Chain A
Amino acid sequence: MTEETTPAFEELYRELEDAVRRLEAGDLPLAESLTLFEHSTALAEQCNRLLDEAELRVRQLTTRPDGGLDAEPFAGWQTE
């Protein structure tokens, strides 16, 4: 999982919730409802794909001599 897609889940999920809420309200023009329905189906698939494909990414903070912070990949936890 990359940096870009990880935070996207929350957006996708909220968008999906919102789309469903609007669909359930039932006061949209039919064409708009259809578009929204297709969109929410796609959103649900994206959410599922993200959950299926995700792998935990762990980084460890290190301090540079100038006091600045860096984050280095940390993998030690996976090996026994």
Chain B
Amino acid sequence: MPPASIYTVSQVTAYIKSLFAEDLLLADVWLSGEVSGFTQASSGHCYFTLKDGGAVLKAVIWRTQAARMVLPRNGDQVLAHGYISVYEQGGTYQLYVNHLEPAGVGRLWLEFERLKARLEAEGLFDEARKRPIPERPARVGVATSPTAAALRDILRTLAARFPLVDVILASTPVQGDAAPAGIVAALDALNRWSAEREPLDAIIVARGGGSIEELWAFNDERVARAIATSAVPVISGVGHETDFTIADFAADVRAPTPTAAAAVATPDARELVARVAGLATAARGGMTNRLAAARMGVENLTRRLTRLSPALRLAGDRQRVDDLSRRASLAMAHRLTSIRARLGGQRLQLSALDPARVLARGYAIVSKPDATVVSSTTQVAAGDPLRVRVADGAFDAQVV
């Protein structure tokens, strides 16, 4: 069966090369190894192999790169950086070196790891040792080089964020042999100033970005110890985001850069303005509530007072008086009526008893000359003169 397609060597090699080009690791790789077979051609390009116990890798340094670096010798342990690609004409892959350094730096890292492990075991980096940075510092110390960009970054950041803070600068070299002792002295001076003159809320130890060697002072044991024993909390801001130094581990707070260290040390004034405004609003709210509560209290008391008011009692009394007087007058009227009724009856009885009315009905009143009314036969004898009164007059008579 005929194959579906047939490639040329160039095509396959180009394909392999494209695979290398797509690989992120191969495009940007650091590797260590021993230099062997080093030659520099008349063109200026350098060719050699890097090897370790198990493998070899071809390497190239172009003339322009080679001019800018200290060239290695056979047998050197080196740290190389570059990309790996395919050399089509040779049918090989190789490292295109753009940076090469003696593996001594590797020794530095070994030192770094050993010191870090030792201080860590000693408890110098313990979380429990870390002190908080005051939220709104009145005064901060800065230990750095007065001519470095790092200081300008720090001061500009402080000025922009929280210009109320007072800054005390202790200058020190931040790279070179004198740097570790200088940084220690600066920290000491700032601590003395804080203890004897004006208290500091925090100290920023900083240096801008640089090579591993340039940052090395911050991996010095003396510096780490000075940071750890500082009475004032220390914020480190060394190098770039990715750089970690022993100083960073010893500091109370590690900031990734000098600018970030200044930001860690201070609040943002704009945020503070907002918080002050918030507090003022809360005060108004509290007052409004307090007034509302007071008003409600007053209303409540007023209600209770109204219930207890003499006016209300007077009104009640007045009503009671009205009531009583109404009842009194009713009773009076009632009594008058009954008296009147009784009087009417008595008048009838009286008129019934009126002698004139009796006489009118034909009765007569008989009296003796001495005016004694005769009401019994025993009062008179024959011949006695009598006076008889009738309705329309009187006449004399004699008992027979």
B290 and A30 contact, CB distance less than 8 A:
yes
The residue of chain A having its C-beta at the shortest distance from the C-beta of B273 within the complex is: A51
The residue of chain B having its C-beta at the shortest distance from the C-beta of A74 within the complex is: B169
Cα distance, A57 to B155, chains bound together (Å)? 10
B332 within 8 A of A: no
B159 and A56 contact, CB distance less than 8 A:
yes
A20 and B279 contact, CB distance less than 8 A:
yes
B152 within 8 A of A: yes
Question: Nearest Cβ in chain A — how far from B296, in angstroms?
Answer: 12
B26 within 8 A of A: no
B167 within 8 A of A: yes
B115 within 8 A of A: no
Task: Given A20-B282, A37-B283, A69-B193, check contact A9 B136 (CB 8 Å).
Answer: yes
B189 and A61 contact, CB distance less than 8 A:
yes
Cα distance, A37 to B91, chains bound together (Å)? 85
The residue of chain A having its C-beta at the shortest distance from the C-beta of B164 within the complex is: A54
A66 within 8 A of B: no
Q: Which of A3-62 contact B (CB under 8 A)?
A: 3, 6-7, 9-10, 13, 16-17, 19-20, 23-26, 28, 30, 33-34, 37, 40-41, 44, 47-48, 50-51, 54-61
Question: Nearest Cβ in chain A — how far from B344, in angstroms?
Answer: 75
Contacts of B163 in A (CB 8 A): 1, 54-56
**Chain A interface, >50% SS class:** helix
B151 and A47 contact, CB distance less than 8 A:
no
Cα distance, A56 to B159, chains bound together (Å)? 5
> What 1/0 mask marks residues of chain B from 258 to 288 whose CB sits below 8 Å from any chain A CB?
0000000000010011001101101111110
Task: Given A1-B164, A56-B167, A58-B169, check contact A51 B272 (CB 8 Å).
Answer: yes
The residue of chain A having its C-beta at the shortest distance from the C-beta of B141 within the complex is: A61
A19 and B159 contact, CB distance less than 8 A:
no
B273 and A77 contact, CB distance less than 8 A:
no
* Size class of the contact patch on chain A: 35 or more
A48 and B287 contact, CB distance less than 8 A:
no
Question: Nearest Cβ in chain B — how far from A63, in angstroms?
Answer: 7
Cα distance, A57 to B159, chains bound together (Å)? 9
A26 and B193 contact, CB distance less than 8 A:
no
Cα distance, A16 to B139, chains bound together (Å)? 21
B94 within 8 A of A: no
Contacts of B170 in A (CB 8 A): 60-61
Question: Nearest Cβ in chain A — how far from B167, in angstroms?
Answer: 4
Contacts of A61 in B (CB 8 A): 168-171, 189-190, 193
Question: Nearest Cβ in chain A — how far from B219, in angstroms?
Answer: 25
Cα distance, A55 to B170, chains bound together (Å)? 20
A40 and B294 contact, CB distance less than 8 A:
no
B293 and A40 contact, CB distance less than 8 A:
no
B240 within 8 A of A: no
A76 within 8 A of B: yes
> What 1/0 mask marks residues of chain B from 140 to 171 whose CB sits below 8 Å from any chain A CB?
00000010000110011011001111111111
Cα distance, A40 to B276, chains bound together (Å)? 10
Q: Which of A30, A56, A60 contacts B146 (CB 8 A)?
A: A60
Question: Top 10 closest A-B pairs, CB basis?
Answer: A23-B286, A54-B163, A44-B280, A56-B159, A40-B283, A37-B287, A7-B138, A24-B286, A58-B167, A54-B164
Query: Which residues of A are interface residues toward B (Cβ below 8 A)?
Result: 1, 3, 6-7, 9-10, 13, 16-17, 19-20, 23-26, 28, 30, 33-34, 37, 40-41, 44, 47-48, 50-51, 54-61, 63, 69, 71, 74, 76-77
Given contacts A54-B162, A56-B163, 9 further A-B contacts (CB under 8 A): A6-B166, A13-B272, A13-B276, A17-B279, A23-B290, A48-B273, A56-B167, A59-B168, A60-B168
